[in-house]
Structure 1
Amino acid sequence: MRSMRFHGPFSLGSTLALPLVAALAVLPGAVSPVRAQGPARAATEGAAPVSQPHASSESTKSQTVAANPADKAATPEQRTLTAKAIDKVKQVAKSASDIFNRVPCLPPKGGAGTTGSLPHVAAKLAAGEPVVIIAFGSSSTVGYGTSAPEFTYPNRLAAQLHRQYPTADITVINRGQGGEDAPEMMKRLQTSVIDMHPDLVIWQVGTNAVLRDLDPGETAKLVEEGVARIQAAGSDVVLVDPQYSPKVTERAESANKMVKLLSRIAALRHVGIFPRFDVMRDWHERQSIPIDEFVIADGLHMNDWGYACFAQLLGDDIIRSVGQIKLGVAVPSNVQTYRPM
C-alpha cells in the first residue's frame, strides 16, 4: 500500500443531501446545494459545473440568510416552517462538520511515508506574503456529492490551512469543471490557472479519461505538458490521481495504467502526487470501511466523509512539507500527519 508519497523536491452518503435540499427549498436567499447528477452524465465524473464560493477563513462559518421583504407578511405557520428549515440546515451542517466522530479519518496503514517540500508556498509563508492555491480538476474538485458548498475538498483544505497558519493570508480557489479531463482542462489552463499566478496547483485528473476510454498515453502527454507550463510559471504542483470507486474499478486495467502514468509524470517533473486511488482502496480493503460510507449511490463520487478525509490527508502533508523547509524550521511536534480534524 502506498501512503502519501512525493517525488523530487516535493517527494512526499450523500444521505445528508436530501434533508438539506428540503430545508433550503423554503429558505429565501439560501445557498443552493450541489445538484444531483443527471442520467446523461452518469458515465463521466460530474454534471454541469456548480458555482462554488472561493474558500476563505470564513468558509466554515454559518452563512447569513438574506432578509426577504415578503417574510414580513408571512403567516405564523409559514414563519414556523422557515424556522424549522433553518434548524434543519444547522443540524446538517453540524452533522457534516462532526463527521469524523462517526468514522475516524485514519492514515493509510503502514505509515505516512517520506515528505519533501513546497518551495514556493513555503517561501511565501516564511516571508508573510499572501499565498494562492488553485484546486484544478473536474467534478471531484467542484464537489459533486457534498451536501453543501462548504464541504468541498478545497473549502475543507482552506479551513485546515487557516487553522494551522492563523495569521497567514491564504486563498484556495476552486477551478473545478464537471465532466472534464486533460483535453478540456488544457484549453483553460492559462486562464483558469496560470493567469491567477498561484503558488500551488492541486491538479485532480484522469478519472474521466478512464471512464471515456481515452488513450492513457495521450492523457499522460497532456498532463506532462500542463505540469511543465505550471512549473514554468513558478508554481508548485501536486497531482491527484483517480478515485477508488466502483465506476472506476470496473475498468481496472485502464485505471491502474492511469495511476502509474501519473506517478511517472510526478517523478519525471519532480512534483508531488497524492495517491487518492490507493488511499481510498486502503479505506475499504485495510480499514474495512464499506464503499457506501465514502462513495455516493452513483458509484463514482465521494460523499461528505470522503471529501473531508481526502482534504485532511492532503492538508496534513502540505503542512508537514511546508514545515520542513520554512526557514529551516522542523515541523512542530504537535502536527501529526493525517491527524483527525
Structure 2
Amino acid sequence: MELIQQWKKQPERSFRVIAFGSSNTEVSWSGRHNWVEWLNLNLKTHIGRQVSVINQGISGDTTQNLLERIERDVFSFHPSAVIVTIGGNDTFQGFSRQQYADNLKQICALIRANNALPILQTYYCPMYSLGVADFEETFESFMQINRQLASELDIPLIDQYRVFEPFYRKHPEDYAKLMHDWVHVNHIGNAIMGMHVSSAFGLPEFMLPEDIKQETLALAERMNGCLDR
C-alpha cells in the first residue's frame, strides 16, 4: 500500500490507523494478540514508531452503532486510515441489504470527508453449520456489498472472507481449529487474519511465537491451498 511508504518517509509526523468494528475487532482478555495488534506490531517494526493502530472495536455493534460513535471513536484521533469490519450484528438484527449498504457507504463518506482513507474488510467465514438459521445467505450478501462498495468508491478492500470461506467448505474439521466459537476466530484465526492484513498493507511476514508458529503456518498453508487459482 503506497500510503504507508509515504508514512515511512516522515518519521517526524504521527500517523494513526483506526480499526473500527465489532467483536471481530475488539481486543479480549484472552492474553493473545488479535489481528489488530499483529498489524500494529508489524507497522511499528517495518514503517516506524510514528505509526499507531488504535483498536475501536465494540462487541455487538452494527453499522448504525458505528455511525453513532464515529465522531468520538474515530475522528477525535485524526486518523490517516480507518479499517472498517462490520456486518455480523447487522445480520443478526435483521438489517436489510439496502440499510446495510447505505450505512456502510455513509461511514466511508464520512471517513473521506475527514481526510482519512477508508479501508473495507470482510469477515472470516462463520461456521454456518453450527449457527443460527437464515444467517448464511444474508451474511454472504453483506460481504458482497463490501466488495461492490470498495469498487464503486475506489477504496482498498481486504477480503478475508474470500480466503477463509473455501477452507471452511472443503475442510470444516480443520477450519474449526481457527475458531473460538461458530462466529468468532480464536488466536490462530486472528494471527492468520493479521497475516492477510499485513500483506494487504505491503508489509513483510511477522514473527510468530514458537508455541503457535507451526500450527498457524500449517493451517495458513492449507487455507491458501483451497483457493481457486
Pick aligned residue for 1:278 from 132, 150, 162 = 162
State the one-letter code of the partner of 1:263.
Answer: R
Pick aligned residue for 2:10 from 114, 121, 127 = 127
Instruction: Report if aligned partners of 1:204, 1:242 keep a CA contact under 8 Å in 2.
Output: yes
Distance (whole Å) between structure 1 residues aligned to residue 110 and residue 59 of structure 2: 23
Question: TM-score, with normalisation over the residues of structure 1?
Answer: 0.55
State the one-letter code of the partner of 1:260.
Answer: Q
1:154-303 matches, cutoff 5 A? 154-165=36-47, 167-246=48-127, 247=131, 251-285=135-169, 290-296=174-180, 298-303=181-186
Displacement of 1:182 in angstroms is 0.3
- Does residue 190 of structure 2 align to residue 307 of structure 1? yes
- Deviations along 1:278-299, one digit per CA (max 9) or x if unpaired, are 2211333457762320111x31
Instruction: Report if aligned partners of 2:118, 2:155 keep a CA contact under 8 Å in 1.
Output: yes
Q: Gapped runs of 5+ residues in structure 2?
A: 209-229
Paired residues in the alignment total 204
Distance (whole Å) between structure 2 residues aligned to residue 236 and residue 248 of structure 1: 35
Pick aligned residue for 2:26 from 125, 142, 164 = 142
Instruction: Report if aligned partners of 1:248, 1:255 keep a CA contact under 8 Å in 2.
Output: no
Instruction: Report if aligned partners of 1:160, 1:312 keep a CA contact under 8 Å in 2.
Output: no
Instruction: Report if aligned partners of 2:21, 2:57 keep a CA contact under 8 Å in 1.
Output: yes
Question: TM-score, with normalisation over the residues of structure 2?
Answer: 0.80
The alignment partner of 1:172 has SS state of strand
Percent identity of paired positions between Structure 1 and Structure 2: 18
Instruction: Report if aligned partners of 2:27, 2:55 keep a CA contact under 8 Å in 1.
Output: no
Instruction: Report if aligned partners of 1:154, 1:311 keep a CA contact under 8 Å in 2.
Output: yes
Instruction: Report if aligned partners of 2:42, 2:206 keep a CA contact under 8 Å in 1.
Output: no
TM-align CA RMSD: 2.3
The alignment partner of 1:237 has SS state of strand
- Deviations along 1:89-137, one digit per CA (max 9) or x if unpaired, are xxxxxxxxxxxxxxxxxxxxxxxxxxxx453x44332222222111100
Instruction: Report the structure number with the largest CA radius of gyration.
Output: 1
Displacement of 1:236 in angstroms is 1.5
**1 or 2, which has the higher strand percentage?**
2
Q: Gapped runs of 5+ residues in structure 1?
A: 1-116, 321-334
Instruction: Name the counterpart of 1:60.
Output: none
**1 or 2, which has the higher helix percentage?**
2
Distance (whole Å) between structure 2 residues aligned to residue 231 and residue 122 of structure 1: 20
Displacement of 1:240 in angstroms is 1.4
